[in-house]
Structure 1
Amino acid sequence: MKLEHINLTSTDPSATADFLCTYFGLRNEGGSKSFMLVRDDNDMVITLMKAKKVDYPKTFHIGFYPQSEAEVDAIAAKLKEGGFEPTAPSRDHGYSVYVEAPGNFTVEITA
């Protein structure tokens, strides 16, 4: 059995959807001001539901796993060009950077 759906709460579902599509290759399947749906290449669905306040636990995050450290670096550089502030790479459990997504949750990028 594989995981095929995740629902995330976001303060700005449209901006979150744009972020996930621009930097991580997901496809925007549409929605409204209060609800957006994005899909990855394996047809896993992420729904983004609007909330006035998002308060995930400090360690909550979602992760993307590119194939190489060079890809992690390329994504981090693209994020910086887009005005985001990814962390410096670390080697805690892989080669990782983290970034705060629009909508108020953390994204991990690890090879």
Structure 2
Amino acid sequence: MKLNHLNLCVNNMSEAVTFFANIFGLELADQKGDAIAVMKDEVGFTLVLSRLATLGGEIPTYPEGFHVGFHVDTKEEVDQFCLRLMAAGLAGEESSPKSMRGGYTLYFKALDGILFEVTSFAV
């Protein structure tokens, strides 16, 4: 079985599309205004972005512990990813990767507080 897509609800569609294109290298395949965008990667995964509706003026948030994880092949890729985040102003020194649970992992928050993980299990 292979996971082929994920729908992620975001508060700001334009910001999310730019983020996933510039930071993760996904390509925009289709977009319906500010309501939905379909992005794809080079191995066939599809990320669907849907705009969250605000309820009573409050911006909905994901629950504690929710995160989106990406695996890369090497520790060097995690380090390079961290440098790319820092250059984009999305991470500081406190966001540096750490060895944990058998991998080398970087956690950071973006897009109104969504937690992201980039990990390599290469030793």
Assess same fold via TM > 0.5: yes
Q: Which has the higher contact order (CA 8 A, sep 6+)?
A: 1
Where has structure 1 moved over 3 Å in runs of 4 or more? none
Q: After TM superposition, list the pairs within 5 Å mapping 1:1-111 onto structure 2.
A: 1-31=1-31, 32-51=33-52, 52=54, 53-85=59-91, 87-93=95-101, 94-111=103-120
Q: Under a length normalisation based on structure 1, what TM-score does the superposition of the two structures give?
A: 0.90
Amino acid at match of 2:104: Y
How far does the alpha carbon of each residue in 1:13-68 deviate from its partner, in whole angstroms, 9 at most, with x for none? 22112111111121111312121111111221111111132321211111111111
Amino acid at match of 2:73: Q
Identical-residue share of aligned pairs (%): 28
Unaligned runs of 5+ in 2: none
Q: Under a length normalisation based on structure 2, what TM-score does the superposition of the two structures give?
A: 0.82
For 1:103 and 1:30, locate their aligned partners in 2 and report how far apart those are by CA, in whole Å: 23
Task: Report how far residue 98 of structure 1 moved.
Answer: 1.2
RMSD: 1.5
Change (3 A) 1:99 1:76: same
Unaligned runs of 5+ in 1: none
Residue 99 of structure 2: SS of its match in structure 1? Answer: coil
Residue 19 of structure 2: SS of its match in structure 1? Answer: helix
Residue 24 of structure 1: SS of its match in structure 2? Answer: coil
| Structure with bigger gyration radius | 2
